[in-house]
Amino acid sequence: MSEPKFEVQMLHDRVMIKVEQESGERRSSGGIVIPATVRQSNRLAWGEVCGVGHHVRTVKVGDRVLFHPEDQFEVEIQGQEYLVLRERDLHAIASERPEHGTGLYL
């Protein structure tokens, strides 16, 4: 007999994010190669929203959001790691529906 599957629903103002993995080394705008071993403590990260609670007003599933990786809780579901944050801990949203944007695009 197989185990029943349960759908994960976020509560209140919580947002579930799938983190975009960095591809190791990266280049600065001047062309300098920065190795993957360099860790920047105040570097923000991008991730994709996979679930939102009922009281989340600004973010929708599928949006890309900017957040600080240290301000979160980690959870593993079916071998995939996700982060859980409050909506107020998000710094920016990149979406296809610009309303009050900066004029910058990813």
Separation between Cα atoms, residue 90 and residue 9, nearest integer Å: 19
pLDDT value at 48 more than 70: yes
In a domain, 3, yes or no: no
Q: Residue 37 is encoded by which pair of tokens?
A: 């071993």
Which domain covers residue 77, as residue numbers?
14-22+43-93
Task: Return the closest-CA partner of residue 90 out of 40, 17, 10, 22.
Answer: 17
Separation between Cα atoms, residue 49 and residue 95, nearest integer Å: 11
Separation between Cα atoms, residue 9 and residue 67, nearest integer Å: 21
Band (105; pLDDT cuts 50, 70, 90)? low
pLDDT at 33 (0 to 100): 74
Separation between Cα atoms, residue 42 and residue 36, nearest integer Å: 16
φ and ψ of 10, to 5 deg:
-75, 145
pLDDT digits over 53-82, tens only?
Answer: 999 888 889 889 998 877 778 888 888 888
In a domain, 73, yes or no: yes
pLDDT at 41 (0 to 100): 60
pLDDT at 5 (0 to 100): 78
pLDDT digits over 10-23, tens only?
Answer: 889 899 998 876 65
Band (49; pLDDT cuts 50, 70, 90)? very high
Which CATH number fits the domain that encloses residue 55?
2.30.33.40
